[in-house]
Amino acid sequence: MILNKLVKKQKGFTLIELMIVVTIVGILAAIAVPNYKWGIIRAKEAVLRENLYNMRNVLDQFFADQGKFPDSLDELVEKKYMKSIPNDPITGKPEWDVMPPPDLGQVVSEEKGLGNVYDVKSTSSLVGSNGIPYGQW
| pLDDT per residue as tens digits for the range 12-59 | 778 898 999 999 999 999 998 888 989 999 999 999 999 999 999 999
Grouping H, G, I as helix, E, B as strand and the rest as coil, residue 103 is: coil
> Alpha-carbon distance 43 to 55, whole Å?
18
> Alpha-carbon distance 52 to 89, whole Å?
11
Give the pLDDT score at 124. Answer: 93
Q: How confident is the model at residue 114 (pLDDT cuts 50, 70, 90)?
A: confident
> Alpha-carbon distance 2 to 11, whole Å?
15
Question: CA Rg, the chain, in Å?
Answer: 29
Instruction: Give the DSSP H or E segment for 77.
Output: helix 73-78
